[in-house]
A and B are shown apart, each in its own frame.
Chain A
Amino acid sequence: QKEVEQDPGPLSVPEGAIVSLNCTYSNSAFQYFMWYRQYSRKGPELLMYTYSSGNKEDGRFTAQVDKSSKYISLFIRDSQPSDSATYLCAARSSNTGKLIFGQGTTLQVKP
């Protein structure tokens, strides 16, 4: 079992839709959770990070962590064609400091 699991998609939605991206993880030691956006042939760009359980909102993006179910979510409101990219969830253990990535979900927002 991979430490961080993510449905690779692809996920296609119309412009303006609410997008829900999800990951599950297996390591209880993970305490920091991140979402990265990666455009084709570019390095990942940090979107949001959260510590432990809870919600965090930044503009159209909301990140949620439920440690009881080991579930990570990213919601994108009013999705735009420019949001089309691969979204990677990642988790980090406070013990090792290593960042473990999910497979990434490819999102396409159609005009």
Chain B
Amino acid sequence: GAVVSQHPSRVICKSGTSVKIECRSLDFQATTMFWYRQFPKKSLMLMATSNEGSKATYEQGVEKDKFLINHASLTLSTLTVTSAHPEDSSFYICSASPQRPPQDTEAFFGQGTRLTVV
């Protein structure tokens, strides 16, 4: 299957600092990428839809000023957690598909980023 690379896999940061997470589609172009958050033993919760060349679409309850998404190219989307606090500690996962929604039946996931805010 297609490969989605996410970096870093683990990051520890101090409270109040910002952290950037990268999501790259390595062997295909993705006009749309998705960012999820997963708490321990919980399901993936969609945070936002990242659209290449336009603003991201955020899910209800997700602060767009806190979770900045940039989709500058067809192979790269970034999620920046600004002014991080301990409650932002979580597992963040991105996904991408070679096809445009709603035909993107196969979504491929990155390996996830474990963020710990101390």
Contact = CB atoms under 8 A, between A and B. Distances in A.
Given A103-B42, A104-B43, A97 B101 contact: yes
Given A42-B112, A43-B112, A8 B41 contact: yes
Interface residues of A, number: 28
B93 A43 contact: yes
B114 A41 contact: yes
Given A44-B44, A97-B104, 11 more contacts: A41-B114, A42-B112, A46-B1, A92-B102, A92-B105, A97-B101, A98-B46, A101-B45, A103-B43, A104-B42, A106-B41
Given A46-B1, A88-B43, A99-B46, A41 B91 contact: yes
Interface in A59-111: 88, 92-104, 106
A46 to B, nearest CB: 6
Contacts of B45: 101
